[in-house]
Amino acid sequence: MLTEELKQEIESYIHEHCPNRRGACIEAMMIVQRSQGWLSDESMRDLAAFLEMSPDELDGVATFYNHLFRKPVGRHVIWICDSVTCWVMGYEGMLEHMQRRLGIKSGETTPDGRFTLLPIQCLGACHHAPALMIDNDLHEDLTPQKFDQILKDYK
Amino acid sequence: MERPLTKNIRDGMEPLDIAAYEKSGGYRAVHKALRQMVPKDLVDLVTASNLRGRGGAGFPTGQKWATVPMGDNVPRPKYLVVDADEMEPGTFKDRFLMEGDPHQLIEGIILGAYAIQADIAFIFLRHEYTKSAQRLTRAMAEAYDRGYLGSNIAGSGFSLQLRLHISAGRYICGEGTAMLNSMQGGRAIPRHRLPHPTVSGLWGKPTNINNAETLCNLPHIVNNGADWFKGLSRCKDGGTKIYGASGKVKKPGAWELPIGTTIREILEEHAGGMREGVKFRAVIPGGASTEFLLEEHLDVQMDYDSVPKAGSRLGTGTMIVLDDQTCPVGMVHNLEHFFARESCGWCTPCREGLPWTARILKDIEEGRGMMDDLGRLENLGKDLWLGRTFCPLAPGAMEPLRSALVHFREDFERHIREKRCPWR
């Protein structure tokens, strides 16, 4: 459901940034996702109508981008960089440790809904590889011990 | 040695606020250019300075600006789009500048917008750069407050709106026309290059796209002149460059150095040489989509003309080092896996060819390769090359592969012969 508040936020973005409604669709999806955690079929249907698009057309945009979730995710999303420098600096061992520690594979969510683990391309932190992000926070120079420690800050 | 781009940047410190930035000479170039220069003066100055685009392609900035339609009878609004979508694997230079001195970028944007008489500028920032977003947002608010953004900037009659656009994230957004499609709420699929975006870009209006590092140079060129800027370099391109090094070097990092500094100086003096116990084997000089260079190339100057002569490209100028304890086949597999995932799927050679490339490499790395796979990879290197695909993503992906097949032939063959990766 699109609340009046969300509609207003999207409307003001359209007004400031776009000559037409559909032009705002990516930011509009981000706005909905920030409030609801992910983009459900129902939200996509309502949002598409609000932007004068068809739901499938909107879905075609959503599925293109890394940061738009069409499935529920955990309370925290862990993005592990799997690009070249992190690979050279030990990404494979880190990923193995993380999967074991969390009890899930890349792409999955822990049964308690706390973490989702996803791969991401280079985070631009190559001088402190290996690196990952949890939600909006960058964590660098990772070791298995450091990873276990960091997790405690995300309840 | 002068370091204009990083003179205000202190490791681990908050960036200068607007008052401190002004005190250090900041926004002086805006006053000077907007009051004493007509747009054409600025275009001529930047052309004379030999500033070339720092995003990777190295196109002369002044020349690009000169293709934007000027005068009263042109479509409005005109746009300046700042490419701050730094996603080339191994690259961390724009982040350094945006987090370190956001006002410098904003000042550069005002100048770049003035040169083409843009009405609206967008910073297209990658989603993961949350600290850059925070610092730019704060600096933009300060600049609006102080009258450097908005209408009638510094009493000059020139007006500019600046907005931060945060991407939803995909590597292909770094291709300029794909970026425009993304900003219009679409899938980031590249457009035909004609008409050029400077004529018909965002929403069909004249749009100039410049890399963030490129724009950061502008205040210094305006303040100090074209000759001074050319004098900073060690080659015929003007200025300094943010170079970087990552991999198993002692001190990975990013440094502002004269453009044309050699690979050896960057790796040995600034990155501190290789870590104990590992030896240098090769380097990718400018981000994932550039060819490997070897020890014999260490004295090559890192500039737009010298690196191609050695068989690679300057790209983003941030190098990734391959050491002797790391498997070159595994490294190339990692690169091609990345490019396969990031293909937008629009053109067939890229959509089908990159996953095929990655699959063959995975087989070789995991001991299932056959000798004729090497011929298949060579053919893919030709079939996905320039002119065979819709945009430069796939040819970029082929650069490290093609060079690896030459330089590391023996390593590929050994994987196939021994049916395993010798490094595992």
Q: 3-state secondary structure string, chain B?
A: CCCHHHCCCCCCCCCCCHHHHHHCCCCHHHHHHHHHCCHHHHHHHHHHCCCECCCCCCCEHHHHHCCCCCCCCCCCCCEEEEEECCCCCCCCHHHHHHHHCHHHHHHHHHHHHHHHCCCEEEEEECCCCHHHHHHHHHHHHHHHHCCCCECCHHHCCCCEEEEEEECCCCHHHHCHHHHHHHHCCCCCCCCCCCCCCCCCCHHHCCEEEEEHHHHHCHHHHHHHCHHHHHHCCCCCCCCEEEEEEECCECCCEEEEEECCCEHHHHHHHHCCCECCCCCEEEEEECECCCCCEEHHHCCCECCCCHHHHCCCCCCCCEEEEEECCCCHHHHHHHHHHHHHHHCCCCCHHHHHHHHHHHHHHHHHHCCCCCHHHHHHHHHHHHHCCCCCCCCCHHHHHHHHHHHHHHHCHHHHHHHHHHCCCCCC
Same-domain status, B35 and B167: yes
Q: Respond yes or no on whether ipTM tops 0.90.
A: yes
Instruction: Note whether residue B158 is domain-resident.
Output: yes
Instruction: Note whether residue B12 is domain-resident.
Output: yes
Here the CATH number for the domain that contains residue B127 is 3.40.50.11540
Check if the beta carbon of residue B285 is closer than 8 Å to that of residue B299: no
- Beta-carbon-side half-sphere exposure of residue B184 (alpha carbons within 13 Å): 18
Alpha helix ranges (H) inside chain A: 4-17, 25-36, 41-50, 55-62, 84-88, 91-102, 144-151
Which of B128, B164, B319 to mutate against chain A (most A CBs within 10 Å)?
A: B128
Same-domain status, B11 and B105: yes
Which residue of A lies nearest to B166 if distances are taken between CA atoms?
A: A27
Residue A71 scores a pLDDT above 90: yes
Listed residues B203, B231, B259: the one ending a domain: B231
Q: Contacts by B383-388 with C-beta closer than 8 Å and gap 24+?
A: B383/B349, B383/B353, B384/B349, B384/B350, B384/B353, B384/B354, B384/B357, B388/B349
Same-domain status, B104 and B68: yes
pLDDT of B1 reads 84
The tokens describing B52, both together, are: 């070339």
Describe the crossing of helices A25-36 and A55-62 by its angle, rounded to 10 degrees.
80
Which residue of A lies nearest to B96 if distances are taken between CA atoms?
A: A124
Same-domain status, B272 and B156: no
Nearest to B247 among A85, A125, A138 (CB): A85
Describe the crossing of helices A4-17 and A41-50 by its angle, rounded to 10 degrees.
50
The tokens describing B390, both together, are: 């819709």
- Whether the link from the prior residue into B4 is cis, omega within 30° of 0, is no
Which residues of chain A have a Cβ shorter than 8 Å from any chain B Cβ? 16-19, 22-26, 29-30, 60-61, 64-68, 79, 82-85, 87-89, 120-129, 133, 136-138
How close, in Å, is residue A49 to chain B by CA atoms?
Answer: 15
Instruction: Note whether residue B152 is domain-resident.
Output: yes
Same-domain status, B396 and B259: no
pLDDT of B298 reads 98
- Beta-carbon-side half-sphere exposure of residue B345 (alpha carbons within 13 Å): 8
Buried b (16+ CB within 10 A) or exposed e, B206-219: bbbbbbbbbbbbbb
- Inter-chain CB proximity B163 and A67 less than 8 Å: no
Same-domain status, B259 and B355: no
Closest CA relative to residue B329, chosen from B393, B418, B410: B410
Confidence of residue A17 (pLDDT cuts 50, 70, 90): confident
pLDDT of B12 reads 86
Listed residues B303, B323, B343: the one ending a domain: B323
Query: CA distances (Å), B109 to each of B63, B120, B211, B212, B216, in order?
Result: 17, 10, 10, 9, 8
- Inter-chain CB proximity A83 and B89 less than 8 Å: yes
Same-domain status, B27 and B174: yes
Which of A32, A88, A141 to mutate against chain B (most B CBs within 10 Å)?
A: A88
- Inter-chain CB proximity B334 and A83 less than 8 Å: yes
Residues of B in contact with A84 (CB under 8 A): 89-90, 284, 288, 320, 331, 334-335, 338
Confidence of residue A107 (pLDDT cuts 50, 70, 90): very high
* Domain carrying residue B336: 328-418
pLDDT of B81 reads 98
Neighbour tally for B417: CB within 10 Å: 10
Residue A124 scores a pLDDT above 90: yes
Tell me the C-alpha distance between B37 and B45, whole Å. Answer: 10
Tell me the C-alpha distance between B210 and B61, whole Å. Answer: 8
Same-domain status, B120 and B98: yes
Residues of A in contact with B185 (CB under 8 A): 18, 22-26, 61
Instruction: Note whether residue B423 is domain-resident.
Output: no
- Inter-chain CB proximity A87 and B318 less than 8 Å: no
Edge-to-edge strand list for the sheet holding B318-323: B253-258, B240-246, B318-323, B280-284, B293-294
Listed residues B231, B257, B275: the one ending a domain: B231
Here the CATH number for the domain that contains residue B376 is 1.20.1440.230
Ramachandran sector of residue B50 (left: φ over 0; alpha: ψ -120 to 50; beta: rest): left
Which of B88, B92, B424 to mutate against chain A (most A CBs within 10 Å)?
A: B92
Instruction: Note whether residue B123 is domain-resident.
Output: yes
Nearest to B334 among A18, A30, A87 (CB): A87
Same-domain status, B160 and B281: no
Check if the beta carbon of residue B219 is closer than 8 Å to that of residue B26: yes
SS3 A151: helix
Check if the beta carbon of residue B266 is closer than 8 Å to that of residue B255: yes
Check if the beta carbon of residue B203 is closer than 8 Å to that of residue B75: no
Query: CA distances (Å), A94 to each of A145, A155, B329, in order?
Result: 10, 21, 20
Nearest to A126 among B182, B246, B341 (CB): B246
Residues of A in contact with B318 (CB under 8 A): 126
Rg value, chain B, Cα: 22
Same-domain status, B59 and B133: yes
Same-domain status, B198 and B62: yes
Instruction: Note whether residue B399 is domain-resident.
Output: yes
- Inter-chain CB proximity B246 and A19 less than 8 Å: no
Instruction: Note whether residue B237 is domain-resident.
Output: no
SS3 A90: coil
How close, in Å, is residue A103 to chain B by CA atoms?
Answer: 24
Contacts of A15 (CB under 8 A, 6+ apart): none
How close, in Å, is residue B186 to chain A by CA atoms?
Answer: 6
- Inter-chain CB proximity A133 and B129 less than 8 Å: no
Could you say which DSSP state residue A146 is in? H
SS3 A81: strand
Instruction: Note whether residue B78 is domain-resident.
Output: yes
Closest CA relative to residue B169, chosen from A48, A77, A86, A43: A77
Nearest to A84 among B86, B288, B341 (CB): B288
The tokens describing A39, both together, are: 């983009």
Q: How far is CA B273 from the centre of its chain?
A: 24
Sketch out chain A's domains with CATH numbers.
4-62 (1.10.10.1590), 76-151 (3.40.30.10)
Residues of A in contact with B204 (CB under 8 A): none
Same-domain status, B196 and B269: no
The number of folded domains in chain B is 3
pLDDT digits (tens), chain B, 424 positions: 899 999 999 988 999 999 999 999 999 999 999 999 999 999 999 999 999 999 988 999 999 999 999 999 999 999 999 999 999 999 999 999 999 999 999 999 999 999 999 999 999 999 999 999 999 999 999 999 999 999 999 999 999 999 999 999 999 999 999 999 999 999 999 999 899 999 999 999 999 999 999 999 999 999 999 999 999 999 999 999 999 999 999 999 999 999 999 999 999 999 999 999 999 999 999 999 999 999 999 999 999 999 999 999 999 999 999 999 999 999 999 999 999 999 999 999 999 999 999 999 999 999 999 999 999 999 999 999 999 999 999 999 999 999 999 999 999 999 999 999 999 9
Here the CATH number for the domain that contains residue B255 is 3.10.20.600
